[in-house]
């Protein structure tokens, strides 16, 4: 009898509010025996905390995945290889593994690195979509991202603000917290602070909403999960 190999699922849990998780995500987490969750150096597992708000995960194996926050590609790659190795142990044992991903699994998600490694070795992977942080932020602000059917939308990391602000249409600057000072400076130089809004930790208990960044103090920390929306002028 052929040995069963497990499937690796990338499960989107949305930006913070458990109610934004899809039925598909909830059902997959209910059926998967192993839940893989990114873990910070201090031990926090935000994606797991969100999932627990929608799914009873008692009795399941929780597999913490520790990813390097280093900007060194070699250090990052080593962490991805180690995480994939940890996942493979369960897949080889015939168990499906669901990796939790904040927002949507296709947008700046670590899942893609493990997916590439595992698919190259013949493992089956499946992606389950979810609500992105910028869509949730737009809803929280009560504004359209595109303003109409013809307007372009540019999505980029906050560190790329200066490079994309001249492009036509609206802009989404994701994970802007670490580069907030530089991002705000780029917005100011382009005269776009009054047309820019920011939502930090969207859907979480410590959510903060800034509809206009004109008076935002650059010295004030916004945290890692800061999403900036820039309207087209």
Query: What's the confidence (pLDDT) of residue 77?
Result: 92
Residues in the chain predicted with pLDDT less than 50, given as ranges, are none
Query: What's the confidence (pLDDT) of residue 176?
Result: 77
Contact 13, 28 (CB under 8 A): no
Q: Scanning the structure block, which residue is given the tokens 């180690």?
A: 82
Query: What's the confidence (pLDDT) of residue 219?
Result: 80
Contact 101, 110 (CB under 8 A): yes
Query: What's the confidence (pLDDT) of residue 23?
Result: 98
Query: What's the confidence (pLDDT) of residue 105?
Result: 97
Domains of the chain: 8-128 (3.40.1010.10), 133-230 (3.30.950.10)
Query: What's the confidence (pLDDT) of residue 129?
Result: 98
Query: What's the confidence (pLDDT) of residue 1?
Result: 66
pTM of the model: 0.92
Query: What's the confidence (pLDDT) of residue 233?
Result: 64
Q: What is the rounded CA–CA span in Å between residue 20 and residue 30?
A: 16
């Amino acid at each position: 009898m052929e040995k069963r190999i497990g499937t690796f699922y990338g499960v989107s849990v949305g930006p913070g509010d458990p109610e934004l998780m899809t039925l598909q995500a909830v059902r997959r987490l209910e059926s998967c025996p192993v839940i893989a969750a990114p873990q910070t150096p201090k031990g926090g597992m935000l994606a797991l905390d969100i999932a627990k708000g929608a799914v009873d995960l008692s009795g399941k194996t929780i597999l913490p995945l520790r990813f390097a926050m280093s900007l060194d590609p070699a250090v990052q790659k080593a962490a991805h290889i180690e995480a994939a190795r940890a996942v493979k142990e369960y897949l080889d044992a015939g168990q499906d593994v669901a990796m939790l991903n904040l927002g949507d699994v296709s947008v700046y998600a670590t899942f893609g690195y493990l997916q590439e490694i595992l698919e190259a070795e013949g493992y089956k992977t499946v992606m389950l979509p979810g609500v992105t942080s910028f869509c949730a932020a737009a809803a929280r602000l009560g504004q359209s991202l595109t303003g109409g059917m013809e307007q372009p939308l540019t999505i980029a990391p906050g560190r790329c603000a200066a490079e994309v602000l001249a492009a036509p249409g609206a802009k989404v600057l994701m994970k802007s917290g670490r580069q907030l000072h530089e991002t705000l400076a780029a917005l100011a130089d382009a005269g776009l602070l009054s047309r820019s809004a920011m939502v930090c930790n969207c859907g979480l208990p410590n959510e903060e909403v800034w509809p206009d960044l004109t008076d935002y103090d650059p010295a004030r920390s916004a945290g890692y999960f800061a999403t900036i929306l820039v309207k087209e002028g």
